[in-house]
Structure formats: C-alpha cells, structure tokens
Chain A
C-alpha cells in the first residue's frame, strides 16, 4: 500500500506529518519543534513532485505531494486514474494535511510555492509549531480509520 500526505506545497505540513508518522523526526526535535531535521522540509517545490519519505513498519511506502489549491481535484483524479489502470482503490491512502493547519501555515506554504521560499518557510515553521499537536493527532485518527494504525 502507498500513503500520500498532501498539502498546498507538499514540503511543509505534509512532510512534517509524514516524518512524524514514520518516526523520522526524533523525539528531541519534536519536543523542541525544530523542523530542520525533517527530510525535504522547506525545500524548493515548483513541479508537484512526489517525494518518497520511507517505508512504515507494515511496509507501506510513504510519499508527500504538493497539489497547490486543488485539494479535492487531485486526489479524485489520482483515485480515478488508478481505477482506470485497474489498480485497487485500497492500495492508496491520501491524507490532506492542509485541513489541520492554521492560516499562518497555509500562507507559508502558499508563499513558498510561489517562490518566496524564505518568508514562506518562516511562516510555515511558526504556524506548524502551533499546529503540530493537532496535525499529528488528526493524521493518526485518519490512519486508524483507514486501518493502517491500530
């Protein structure tokens, strides 16, 4: 199975959620809310690149993706595309991390995607410091609902 965390930029809330889920973010870094150790965090994103974060304990591959403002259209098109290619729908889980972040993080992701990387990353980092507990709690809840976490 493949799990894709997606957001506006795909390199902020999506990678934070993905890295936290995979345990790539050390407990020390998480406690001090330092995002610098997270792979791909704040890197330049302009092509909607699918980024591989790693495999979880069950062997599921975890990716992140930036979908710009198309939070509904892109997952819908991907699911439909897989159906067209005769791949079972349950082989993919898509998690929208944009739902659990505040306005500051959203603007950060948006600005970074538009090329204002420093400003965007700063805002996203500040926003995510506040959002992280809710983000991770909701992502866990969603993964439990999908049967990935017990």
Chain B
C-alpha cells in the first residue's frame, strides 16, 4: 500500500506526519528542533519541488510512505489523482491520501512562509519548529488513527 501525506509545500506537517508514521520521532514527548531538522525534507523543499512525490520510507507493515506539496488544491488534489487512477485502472484501495493541512497552526504558516517562500531561514525556521512542536501531538494522534484504520483493513482514512 502507498500512503501519501500532503500539505501546502511538503516541508512541515506532511513530513512530520510521515516521520511519526515511520517511527523517526519519539511519541512520548515533543521533538526537539534538532530532531525535526534531521527528518528528510523538513523545511527543505521550495516551490520547484512541489508536486513531486518524495519517498520517506517503509513502515513496519511494508507500506510505502510518501509526502508531497500540493499548494492550496485541498480536496481537489485527491479528486484529480483518484480520477487519474480510475482511468488507468489503478487499484485505489492500495493508495491512501491524507491532507495534513487541517493540523497546520498559525506559527507553522508564518514560519513556513518566511523560511520557504521568503527564504529568510534564520527567522522562519525557529517559528516553524515551534509551531510543529505545538501541533505534534495532534499530528501524532491523526497518524495513530490512520495506522489503526489501515491495520483494520479499511483504507479510506479515519483522519478527519
């Protein structure tokens, strides 16, 4: 199965969710800035990288975990991919697409915009790290729900 976490730029919330999914971050406490920065693609991707699926790893069940930046397409992004899958006869039950945007807080938006869009990393990065730490347990709970749902054999989410 392919599990795809998506957010605006594929740099913060989706990367954090994928890292939690893959066990790259501790679940009993908020991660440190250093731990967050050690995750591949965290606060790294820029505009030209958006729209590419980035492989993050395989989880304990052998599912492939990806992240992608989808801008403000929201639910349209999944609609488009599902329709494309349909016309190519791709088995959609083997693909789970999770929008992590509902878990993005104001600090992540401001920090992410400053770091990724404006390129002022020294200013934006500490803000986005703080925001990610604050959103961490919400994201972790969502990932946990998703993993339980997938383990039960239902691939349609449980993320909202």
Tell yes or no: A78 within 8 A of B by CB: yes
Contacts of B81 in A (CB 8 A): 77-78, 81
Provide the bound-state CA to CA distance between A50 and B71, in Å: 19
Contact with A along B94-120 (1 / 0, CB 8 A): 000000000000000000000000000
Residue picked from B77, B80, B85, most chain A C-beta under 10 Å: B80
B87 touches A63 (CB 8 A): yes
Provide the bound-state CA to CA distance between A46 and B76, in Å: 9
B52 touches A76 (CB 8 A): yes
B83 touches A49 (CB 8 A): yes
Tell yes or no: B70 within 8 A of A by CB: yes
Contacts of B85 in A (CB 8 A): 81, 85
Tell yes or no: A149 within 8 A of B by CB: no
B51 touches A76 (CB 8 A): yes
Tell yes or no: B66 within 8 A of A by CB: yes
Tell yes or no: A124 within 8 A of B by CB: no
B88 touches A77 (CB 8 A): no
B76 touches A68 (CB 8 A): yes
A interface secondary structure, majority: mixed
B87 touches A61 (CB 8 A): yes
Residue picked from A50, A70, A81, most chain B C-beta under 10 Å: A81
B87 touches A73 (CB 8 A): no
- Looking at chain B, what size class is its interface with the partner chain? 20 to 34
Contact with A along B67-84 (1 / 0, CB 8 A): 011110100110111011
A87 touches B88 (CB 8 A): yes
Contacts of B69 in A (CB 8 A): 73
Provide the bound-state CA to CA distance between A81 and B83, in Å: 12
Whether A68 touches B73, Cβ cut-off 8 Å, given contacts A77-B51, A81-B53, A85-B90, is yes
Whether A84 touches B83, Cβ cut-off 8 Å, given contacts A48-B76, A70-B71, A73-B71, is no
| A77-B52, A84-B2 known, 17 other contacts, Cβ within 8 Å | A48-B76, A48-B80, A50-B80, A50-B83, A63-B87, A70-B71, A72-B51, A73-B50, A73-B73, A77-B77, A77-B81, A78-B80, A81-B53, A84-B66, A85-B88, A87-B88, A87-B90
